Structures are given as structure tokens and as C-alpha cells.
Amino acid sequence: MNLTRLAAERDRPIRAALIGAGKFGSMFLAQVPTIAGLEVAVIADLDPDRARAACRTVGWDDARIAATRFTDNGQDAACADVDVVIEATGHPEAGIAHALAAINAGRHIVMVNVEADVLAGAELARRATQAGVVYSMAYGDQPALVSEMVDWARATGFDVAAAGKGTKYLPAYHHVTPDEVWSHYGLTPDAAKAAGMNPQMFNSFLDGTKSAIEAAAMANACGLDVPEQGLGFPACGVDDLAHVLRPESAGGQLARDGMIEVVSSLERDGRPVFRDLRWGVYVVLKAPNDYAAACFKQYGLPTDSTGRYAAMYKPFHLIGLELSVSVLSVALRGEPTGQTRDWRGDAVAVAKRDLRAGEVLDGEGGWTVYARATSAQASRAQALLPIGLAHSVALTRDIPAGTTLRMQDVALNDSLNGVQLRRQMLAG
């Protein structure tokens, strides 16, 4: 709550490097000119001219653009003379490489790249701590917002029965490919192309992949559990969170207290859920005693039928528009806005259709696989293939549709950072 004051009192601006000037990065850049004490000194993008154009689009003037260094080299930006590096590429291997470079250079890192964080965040956070720098989730994205709500709940003495986010979900979405995605968003392919929208990226939101990745990130940051058989995606509006997201033993739909779950904004027949949470996040609280439960009722907090469970929620998240909170927090306080603490959840690859030996997987939101959330225990025991490694790798055997892939099912490149760090995690 004191970030603006601390920034104003600082004797020099906080300098940041941004790697990846896509939608998330552009939203952050739009806010920078109005944030006192913060400047972006370096912007790295595969197309620097596109990054300059993005700056103009979000309202930067010529003087600010001229004062910023643009490069196509993410490694260069990760080691630049800055206080904080922001990794926003969305590519797992690139994200890990940039994070390692920043940590080795003694730079704090804000990891927008949830795909990289779920693949190897536990190891990256450990190395950052050893190097004396902060490794942080990105505020504005749902895992960091859930981390904040869970921390608030625990700091006020409540047990956390459940936490998570909302999304638009139907079981059939798992098999949607980028060729079919725009009809589900109410767009034509031409309109989406004109808007610069990437069909594979948007399909990763629809086919359940992004929800699996973010659920695993939430579990790893908050010390909560992911259902081993995957997310249930119960249809649930904000008024029913405390009723649905409580243990089965109490009449709910969860295996036990302390779970991550994603709720759907659609009933299974496609009807919209009343007062849905499609864009938001939530935490379900459990009163630790009768007195606290009575206070729920006295102060008007809706509860379940027992009076012991209640929910708090945030109906929207503004992704990159809120990212500066992370940058300021790590630079001024040395505190992350959410951080992988332990490997508790994973997002693993599942075949969308029958796949043949020799086929090359195309990662998140593609034509071959989608991600399913599972426990780290199950992933480790079976050496399941994380979705972050399901990029440009060939299958070594035929895989039936609906099968969860294992690492031995693909020809992995052991020279990649992501492969090496995941093998370290499997080794314990």
C-alpha cells in the first residue's frame, strides 16, 4: 500500500527491461508514462520495429521512444543495467533462458511467462534466492492475484478451503484446434487476423491448457493441491462459491479442504451461469471457530449452509495494466507478488486426437495436445510430459486420443534448459 510513496522517495527511477512486447507487455507499457519513479530502459522483441510501433500505439511520445533501447536479443536485455527484468515472451524455453541470465546477472525477475514458471519455477526461485535476487509472479495475472487473496486469508487467521479462477469451459473445448477457435469467440477468421489475434494463443485459453497451467502455478505458490485427475471445472457463479467449493464431506464438490479449482461460466448444456466469475479469481474461507463463523453472519457475508464456509472474490483482472505492482514490489521492498514455493502441481500434455509416431507436437493451444492439471506427485511418479516441453518434439510411439503423454513418449533434446531443470526436479 506504500509503493507509490516509496517510489517517490527513491533517489533515482526504477529501471526495467521488458522482454516480449506482445499484448501483456503492451498493456504494461501503456501505464508506464503515468507511474512516477518507473522507466523502461530496454525493450527486447524478435521484431524491434514492431515493439516501437507498440509503444506508439499505447501512447508513448517520440522522446520516450528515443530514450529507450530496442533490441532483438532477449539475453542482452536480461543482462542490461536495470533493476528488474520482465519476461513476457510466453515461450517456456526462452523464458527459462532469460530468467537464468537475469539471475546470473544479479537482476530481479518478474515472470509473466507462466508456462516457464510451471515447467521449472521451483528451481528458478531456488536459484534466485541463492543469488540474492527476487523471482516473482506477475501481478495482474491470475496466479499472482490468487496468491494475494490466499495470503490475506491466512494472515487474517482463516483456513483456505479452495482458491482459483473462472473461465469459459465445456468438455468439448479440449479438442478444439486453432482452425475452429474463432467461432467460440464470436469472431470471423478475417476479423481476428485484422486485430492481430493469434489463433493458437487464444485457443490455449479455450481448450483448458491455460487453466491447467495457471492452476498448477497457483498450487505451487499457495501450498494448495490440484486434483490428480484434473480440474473439474464446476459450473458456479459467485453466489455459490462457498457451497460448491467445499469438501464432499460437507456437501460440496471437492475432495478435501485446501484445493485449487477453476469454475466455469457455462452450464454443461451451454447456458450462461448466473453471476459468473469468467474474468475473476476467488478464495473460499473456512472459519476456524464458532465465533468467527458467527461474525460471517453478523457482517452479512454469504456462507454455505453450515455457516462455516464463505467466499471472497475479485470479479476482474487487468493483466498487464497491473504489472507495475510487481516491478515496484520487487525493486522497493524485495518482495515477490506470488512465487513458486514448492512443486505441488503440474500441467501435462494430453493427446487431442490419435497421434502417430514421428508426428511433431505443437505445444499450448495447438492441433495435437492440450494441458491437464495434475499433482506433482503423480507427474513425478509417472514422468509425465509437461506441456512446456511439448514443443517441436517428435513422438517415439503411437498415442491414442485422450492419453496423457510421458517424457519417454517423445524425443527430448537434453541440451535444453527446460529439459535439464525438469529432470533435476524429477530426481528430487
CA 100 – CA 105 distance, rounded (Å): 9
Tell me, what's the pLDDT at 428?
77
Tell me, what's the pLDDT at 38?
97
- What residue type is assigned to position 242 of the chain? A
CA 26 – CA 402 distance, rounded (Å): 36
Residue 98 pLDDT more than 80? yes
- Coil, helix or strand at residue 350: strand
Tell me, what's the pLDDT at 236?
98
Of all residues in the chain, the percent with pLDDT exceeding 90 is 95
Tell me, what's the pLDDT at 228?
85
Mean pLDDT score, 298-319: 95
Place of cell 533434446: 413
Tell me, what's the pLDDT at 144?
98
- Coil, helix or strand at residue 386: strand
CA 43 – CA 18 distance, rounded (Å): 5
Mean pLDDT score, 201-210: 95
Greatest alpha-carbon span in the chain: 63
Task: Give one DSSP letter per residue of 10-59, joined into a string.
Answer: SSSPEEEEEE--SHHHHHHHHHGGGSTTEEEEEEE-SSHHHHHHHHHHTT
Task: Check if the beta carbon of residue 242 is closer than 8 Å to that of residue 297.
Answer: no
293: pLDDT confidence band, cut at 50, 70 and 90?
A: very high
pLDDT in tens, 103-124: 999 999 999 999 999 999 999 9
Tell me, what's the pLDDT at 193?
80
217: pLDDT confidence band, cut at 50, 70 and 90?
A: very high
Mean pLDDT score, 79-105: 97
CA 304 vs CA 241, 244, 248: distances in Å: 8, 9, 13
Mean pLDDT score, 380-399: 97
Task: Check if the beta carbon of residue 318 is closer than 8 Å to that of residue 365.
Answer: no
Tell me, what's the pLDDT at 284?
98
Tell me, what's the pLDDT at 192?
85
Q: What φ, ψ does residue 391 adopt, rounded to 5°?
A: -115, 120
What is the separation, in whole angstroms, between the first and last Cα of the chain?
A: 38
Residue 197 pLDDT more than 90? no
pLDDT in tens, 146-157: 999 999 999 999
Task: Check if the beta carbon of residue 109 is closer than 8 Å to that of residue 96.
Answer: no
Q: In order of start, what are the domains of the chain with their CATH numbers?
A: 3-140+322-333 (3.40.50.720), 144-169+208-317 (no CATH), 345-427 (3.90.1210.10)
Tell me, what's the pLDDT at 48?
97
CA 344 – CA 238 distance, rounded (Å): 27
Tell me, what's the pLDDT at 194?
77
Residue 305 pLDDT more than 90? yes
Instruction: Please provide the average confidence, as pLDDT, over all residues in the chain.
Output: 96
